[in-house]
Every structure is written in structure tokens, then in C-alpha cells.
């Protein structure tokens, strides 16, 4: 009879541990899946921004008297192997050039296609801001789960790794320049 009770106690403890394992594994997977969703949206938005830069490059070449190629460096970004963060930074520089060109050339201010491009830039800005915030939020959740007991044990078993935030800031390193503007 005592053997039966010992077996029941072991079965009960095993089922409790199994439930804890499943709960924390699902939390880790959920955070990972949400990060991957945000990465997909960021990738798509960066492609749209790149296409906007190419369109503006062609528009500037055809509409401006100056035949200067303002976007040569940015149009060639597609051939470079850079991170999404670096791509975002470069495309923001190109968007700054678009705004400067629009302000410097009155013929561009009146152009309907330039107005459409500016509208698309604003839409992609909103989408990027939201996606980056979502990505960083779930990166923080995942990193916290990886560091805390008991989910840290489960994360080691399944090889979950701590991820950097989108802006590559890492609060765990000794680089104090991470947080300078």
C-alpha cells in the first residue's frame, strides 16, 4: 500500500513538473514566434523603403536639371550583406535626402509622384516604429525568460539564445556608448 502511495506522489510531482515545463516552453516559443513575426514585418517594410528610394532616384534623375545621382550609394545597398538595423539606418539617410531635395527644388514640391512618395515614407515610418517596438518588447520578454529560473533550464535544453535589441543596444556588455544619442 505504501508503494502505491509513493507511486501516486511521484506521478503527481512528475505531472506538476511536466506542466511547468510545458508552460515555460510555450512562453519561450511564443516570444520567439512574435519576434519572428516582427522581423518579417521589418523586412517587408525595409523592402518597401528601398523601392521608394529607387523610385525617387529615377524621379530625381528625370525631373531635375542637375543630373547628379543623389541615391547611388543607397540604390546599391541591395547588393550588400548588411543587417536590418544597418539597412534601416542607411535608408533613413536616403529619406533625409528625399526631404532635402523636395525642399530645395520647387518643381519636386508640386510633383504628384513626390507627394505620393512622401506619403508612403510616412506610412513606412509608422509601420517601422511599431514593428521595432514590438520586436524589442518581445526580445526583452525572451531574454528575461532565458535568464530566469526555471525557464533558463528549458531554454538551455532547446538552445534559445539571448537576442540583441533592434538598435543593437546590449545592456549586458561594457560598452557605455550604446546609449548615447
pLDDT tens digits, one per residue of 59-105? 888 888 777 888 888 888 888 888 889 999 999 999 999 999 999 88
- pLDDT higher than threshold 50 for residue 177: no
Residue 110's pLDDT is: 85
The predicted pLDDT at position 77 comes to 84
| pLDDT band (50, 70, 90) for residue 14 | very high
Lowest model confidence (mean pLDDT) among 98-107, 138-147, 156-165: 98-107
pLDDT for the residue numbered 168: 64
SS3 state of residue 107: helix
Q: Is the pLDDT of residue 176 over 50?
A: no
| 95 CB-near residues (< 8 Å, 6+ apart) | 49, 52, 53, 121
User: Sorting pLDDT into bands at 50, 70 and 90, what band is 169?
Assistant: low
CA-to-CA distance for 22 and 133, rounded, in angstroms? Answer: 28
* Distances 125 to 49, 136, 179 between C-alpha atoms, Å: 9, 16, 22
Residue 172's pLDDT band, with cuts at 50, 70 and 90, is low
pTM of the model: 0.83
Which pLDDT score is estimated for 65?
78
Helix axes 84-104, 112-147, angle to 10 degrees: 150
pLDDT of 170 higher than 60: no
User: Contact 34/138 with Cβ under 8 angstroms?
Assistant: yes
Amino acid at each position: 500500500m505504501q508503494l502505491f502511495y509513493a507511486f501516486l506522489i511521484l506521478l503527481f510531482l512528475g505531472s506538476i513538473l511536466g506542466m511547468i515545463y510545458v508552460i515555460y516552453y510555450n512562453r519561450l516559443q511564443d516570444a520567439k514566434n512574435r519576434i519572428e513575426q516582427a522581423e518579417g514585418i521589418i523586412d517587408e517594410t525595409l523592402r518597401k523603403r528601398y523601392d521608394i528610394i529607387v523610385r525617387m532616384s529615377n524621379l530625381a534623375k528625370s525631373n531635375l536639371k542637375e543630373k547628379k545621382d543623389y541615391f547611388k550609394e543607397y540604390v546599391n545597398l541591395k547588393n550588400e550583406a548588411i543587417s536590418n538595423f544597418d539597412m534601416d539606418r542607411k535608408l533613413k539617410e536616403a529619406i533625409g535626402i528625399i526631404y532635402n531635395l523636395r525642399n530645395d527644388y520647387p518643381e519636386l514640391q508640386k510633383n504628384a509622384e513626390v507627394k505620393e512618395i512622401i506619403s508612403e515614407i510616412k506610412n513606412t515610418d509608422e509601420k517601422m516604429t511599431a514593428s521595432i517596438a514590438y520586436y524589442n518588447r518581445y526580445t526583452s520578454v525572451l531574454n528575461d525568460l532565458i535568464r530566469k529560473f526555471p525557464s533558463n533550464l528549458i531554454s538551455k535544453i532547446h538552445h534559445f539564445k539571448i537576442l540583441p535589441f533592434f538598435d543593437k543596444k546590449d545592456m549586458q556588455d561594457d560598452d557605455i556608448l550604446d546609449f548615447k544619442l
